[in-house]
């Protein structure tokens, strides 16, 4: 159970993990798609992996296999894109600067469903050392009426990769500020021959 909005507890019913592939097989299959990113994240959750505690941006970069490529420089090196720090908040600011976040202005509606694989961002607060937070939407709604996400942990009380909700993370981290999708954020390979 996780703390929900309004201080109540919200139980996140985690689906049974049935993937029989090894971590190496799941790691090798990552192709930048939402499906393979979620497979990798679910493997981490099933292993109750605490190694991503307080490393949410790395968790999302690894889920999408963004390191060592140029698919999304705003996430892998936000400081190089503009005057942004290398944190979840820096990545969000770089993505927003390049028109790759939704909503384009204002604040998002926390009760609106999000597609599986959507990268969900939270603003900087003392709760997240002013680094913001980012996690991945599962495509389902949580019992508190906000989108369900898979997220890295916040020790000491919320450690390990686990399922949560936008409402829960607003309580644990900070305000929900926006989101992006792989289709919006990641540079698509040039498929045109010649020119």
Which pLDDT score is estimated for 181? 95
pLDDT, mean of residues 169-182: 95
Using one digit for the tens of pLDDT, what is the confidence trace for 27-75? 888 888 899 999 999 988 877 778 899 899 999 999 999 987 788 999 9
What does pLDDT average to over the chain?
85
The encoded tokens of residue 27 equal 């790691």
Which are the contacts of 116, defined by CB distance < 8 A and separation ≥ 6?
34, 35, 38, 137, 138, 139
Which are the contacts of 158, defined by CB distance < 8 A and separation ≥ 6?
2, 164, 172
Which helix (DSSP H) or strand (DSSP E) does residue 57 occupy?
helix 56-63
Q: What is the pTM assigned to this prediction? A: 0.86
Which pLDDT score is estimated for 83? 78
Which pLDDT score is estimated for 190? 56
Question: In terms of Cα–Cα distance, which of 136, 123, 130 is closest to 66?
Answer: 136
Using one digit for the tens of pLDDT, what is the confidence trace for 155-175? 767 788 999 999 999 999 999
pLDDT at 176 over 90: yes
Query: For the chain, first and last CA: distance in Å?
Result: 56
The encoded tokens of residue 123 equal 């603003």
The encoded tokens of residue 148 equal 């369900």
Could you tell me the pLDDT band of residue 2, with boundaries at 50, 70 and 90? very low
Which pLDDT score is estimated for 41? 92
Which pLDDT score is estimated for 189? 55
Q: Where are the domains of the chain?
A: 29-185
CA distances from 167 to 6, 40, 48, 144, 193 (A): 9, 24, 22, 7, 46
146-181 b/e (C-beta count within 10 Å ≥ 16 → b): bbbbbbbbbeeebbbbbbbbbbbbbbbbbebbbbbb
Name which residue leads in pLDDT, 121 or 83: 121
């Amino acid at each position: 159970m996780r703390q929900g909005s309004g201080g109540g507890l919200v139980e996140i019913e985690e689906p049974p993990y049935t993937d029989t592939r090894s971590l190496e097989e799941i790691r090798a299959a990552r192709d930048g798609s939402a499906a393979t990113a979620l497979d990798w994240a679910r493997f981490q959750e099933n292993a109750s992996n605490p190694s991503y505690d307080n490393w949410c941006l790395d968790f999302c970069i690894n889920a999408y296999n963004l390191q060592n490529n140029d698919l999304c420089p705003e996430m892998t090196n936000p400081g190089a894109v503009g005057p942004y720090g290398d944190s979840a908040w820096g990545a969000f600011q770089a993505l927003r600067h390049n028109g790759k976040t939704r909503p384009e202005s204002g604040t998002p509606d926390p009760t609106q469903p999000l597609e599986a694989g959507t990268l969900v961002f939270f603003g900087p607060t003392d709760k997240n050392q002013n680094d913001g937070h980012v996690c991945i939407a599962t495509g389902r709604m949580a019992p508190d009426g906000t989108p369900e996400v898979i997220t890295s942990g916040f020790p000491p009380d919320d450690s390990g990769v686990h399922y949560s909700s936008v409402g829960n993370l607003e309580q644990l981290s900070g305000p929900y500020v926006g989101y992006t999708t792989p289709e919006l954020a990641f540079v698509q390979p040039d498929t045109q021959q010649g020119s």
